Structure 1
Amino acid sequence: MAPPCNVFPVSKLELHVQADVKGKKRKLPGGADVDLTKCALKEMTQYRCFIDDPKSRDSPVRCGHKLDGGHHDVPSYHEWLRA
């Protein structure tokens, strides 16, 4: 079973990309830190995700990506509550 999803700001991405599921820093060859400026950006897609019950490990996650014009291809959270 996958661990619960953690929410973090983009400013903390470098810390999270180098951490294992317990938050411990992964050891890289030579002990170097991850430098995201050295990584080529292949594609960037923004997702909007909702976790039905964030405290439950088996709670469904519903995601959709951002379309041109800023709209999402998933219903809003309030529409999901009515479903």
Structure 2
Amino acid sequence: MKLLIRSKPESFYRAKMKFTRQPVEVDVDADTATILMNEPMLSVTLVQAPARSIEKTEETPAQAPVQAPAGSRKQRSEKQKSSTADSR
């Protein structure tokens, strides 16, 4: 995975690498990329994602929100609450 990284302070060390304010392109694995992207002292831009992850995202179908089936526990408890409120 290729990243374009620059440091916000004059110099900064993370993941055994030194970064300066001058942007530098690095090729790192996914774990190191996650660490660098989550570092607030660095400005990180993704230059190139691995082909594998792009294929997975295209193949993964969008999931529809799951609704509780009719007569489910949640619906029954809501009915009980409303009938209890009516009796008061």
Q: TM-score when scaled to structure 1?
A: 0.22
Name the structure where strand makes up a greater proportion of residues. Answer: 2
Name the structure where helix makes up a greater proportion of residues. Answer: 2
Q: Say which one has the larger Rg.
A: 2
Q: TM-score when scaled to structure 2?
A: 0.21
